[in-house]
Amino acid sequence: MKIHVPIAAVACLSPVAAIASDLPDSAISLRAPLVIAPSAGETDAVYAFRAEPPQISQTAKARDFGSPDSGWWMSLGGGVAFDLNEDTDLNIRVGLSTFVAQGVQVGGELGLFYFNLKGGDATGINPMLLIRWHFVETENWTVFLDGGIGVILSTDDVPEGGTSFNLAPRLGVGFTRRLTDAGLRLEGGVRWHHVSNARITGDSNNPSRDLPMFHLGVVFPF
């Protein structure tokens, strides 16, 4: 918006401007500087006041997911593993991880399991170490391979005829998708879900449980 001011008015304002120039900087505080400039194409000596937009301090940008300097990331999610018979395992988990190289993610997870067994149900706790390689990285998507090893402590033998202490290695493939500029991402995939005791009580007491597990969750800066 332009406000046209005659030369006489500008002359009247000149002493005020001179007085203001002698004041210390702290005495004048303007959110936006005011610029007086002649209007282009005007025949009369006319001036226009133009307010410059204030400089707005930028907030912290969203972290660059996949970068070694992106800090720590937390994940929350769950999964389901099943076969075509009666075996079904349910899982919820929380994880914390960081990137040690571009696209290489290392961290830990703590999961809770519900095992639907033919002879009775059981629950278990599952701490796990995990490494993940995001071999495809775009502005909004990544695709990864991951693997890990952990243990499962359960309230009953898993599988039946096994033990309540088991090892739980895993391998999988999945993706992440950026949801917000603040860093929230969707995470999903499928992995090999294995439970066995690695023959710690002998070959005859080591039944294994091998199921595909589908999982989904969210990832965000921590």
Tell me which architecture the domain covering 72-221 has in CATH.
Answer: Beta Barrel (2.40)
pLDDT of residue 159: 86
Outline where the chain has alpha helix (H): 7-22
pLDDT of residue 52: 56
> How does pLDDT run along the chain (222 residues), one tens digit per residue?
444 444 444 444 444 444 444 544 444 444 444 445 555 555 555 555 455 555 433 333 457 999 999 999 999 999 999 876 777 899 999 999 999 999 999 999 999 999 988 777 899 999 999 999 999 999 999 999 999 999 999 999 998 888 999 999 999 999 999 999 999 999 999 999 999 998 887 777 788 889 999 999 999 999
Contact 124, 113 (CB under 8 A): yes
pLDDT of residue 40: 53
DSSP state of 85: S
Q: In the chain, what are the domain boundaries? A: 4-51, 72-221
Beta strands in the chain (DSSP E): 4-5, 34-38, 47-51, 72-82, 88-101, 104-116, 122-137, 141-158, 163-167, 170-178, 185-195, 209-221
pLDDT of residue 104: 98
pLDDT of residue 22: 52
CA distances from 137 to 17, 77, 216 (A): 57, 22, 19
